Amino acid sequence: MTDLRAVGAPPRLEWLVSTVAKVHNETRRARTLVLDVPLWPGHRAGQHVDVRLVAEDGYQAQRSYSIASPPESPSLELTVERLDDGEVSPYLCDVLRVGDGLEIRGPIGGYFVWDVAQGGPLFLVAGGSGIVPLMAMMRHYAAAPNELRADVPVRLLYSARTLDDVIYRDELEMGSRVDARVSLALTRDAPAGWGGYRRRIDRAMLEEVGWPPNESPRVFVCGPTPLVESVANLLVEIGHVPSRIRTERFGPTG
């Protein structure tokens, strides 16, 4: 493996105090924070940031959150899923408000990343809030010039519990109009007349909606560990080359 790193001491990733410019609820459990970050160095689709909260008594908690906004966006967006027994996500979802400062550092991660110049076809598989870094890729794709997009067909398979748990639902429905084929799989309840999948992601589904192995797609899978483990194993069984499959597993991050 070649050394990708430049010679010399690397600069420290500094903690930056961002300002909450906007917040909006995506679902009952997920909220997007729109942050103004002075001196943000830019990021790639799929990267994450560390968030640090320090209480007045000095107690601190840190967590990592995927970046939802594409590199083209002037502000940094994080979408946070609220975990009731957590201590950082309830703060970010319930307490933090417009005008507050929020300490972040990043961007972090250089493997689970994609840009349109890398080409495709692209197959994105998300479970739950695992959609967040994949949405940054979709948004980056949507922002690319038409001639670049034409050569990079995109398919997204997204598994959520119910339709109300689908993060970025409106935008994903629009996303299907920029050549990205979006398939939804609902694992618990589906509304009457639901035309999408009504089961967990399985091999048949991956074969129906994904690209066949001979198209050599780049595949990104993000979600809870059982989903990622199962999807990645099935993709290898179907015949996809393991090195074309990149995974990010969301453990419990409270």
Would you count residue 253 as binding another protein (CB under 8 A)? yes
Q: How far is the CB of 130 from another protein (least distance, A)?
A: 13
DSSP-derived letter for residue 11 is P
Nearer to another protein, 14 or 170 (CB): 14
Would you count residue 3 as binding another protein (CB under 8 A)? yes
Both structure tokens of 244: 């074309």
User: Token pair 């495709």 is at which residue?
Assistant: 120
Name the nearest CA neighbour of 201 among 220, 219, 186. Answer: 186
Nearer to another protein, 1 or 192 (CB): 1
Task: Evaluate whether 53 touches 61 at the Cβ level (below 8 Å).
Answer: yes
Which of 25, 36, 41, 54 touches another protein by CB under 8 A?
A: 54
Which of 21, 23, 53, 178 touches another protein by CB under 8 A?
A: 53
Helices (H), the chain: 89-90, 131-143, 146-150, 169-175, 203-209, 225-238
Nearer to another protein, 15 or 194 (CB): 15
Task: Evaluate whether 152 touches 176 at the Cβ level (below 8 Å).
Answer: no
Which of 22, 36, 62, 151 touches another protein by CB under 8 A?
A: 62
Name the nearest CA neighbour of 230 among 212, 214, 245. Answer: 245
If one counts every other C-beta atom within 10 angstroms of the C-beta of residue 183, the result is 18
List Cβ<8 Å contacts ≥24 apart for 196-204: 200/159, 200/227, 201/125, 201/127, 201/157, 201/159, 201/227, 201/230, 201/231, 201/234, 202/234, 203/234, 203/237, 203/238
Q: Which stretch binds another protein (CB under 8 A): 49-57, 75-83, 118-126, 149-157?
A: 49-57
Q: Which stretch binds another protein (CB under 8 A): 1-9, 21-29, 184-192, 202-210?
A: 1-9
The contact mask relative to another protein for 82-111 (x = CB under 8 A, - = no) is ----xx--xx---xx---xxxx----xxxx
Would you count residue 59 as binding another protein (CB under 8 A)? yes
Residues that bind another protein (CB under 8 A): 1, 3-5, 9-15, 17, 50, 52-64, 86-87, 90-91, 95-96, 100-103, 108-112, 225, 228-229, 232-233, 235-236, 242-243, 245-247, 249, 251-254
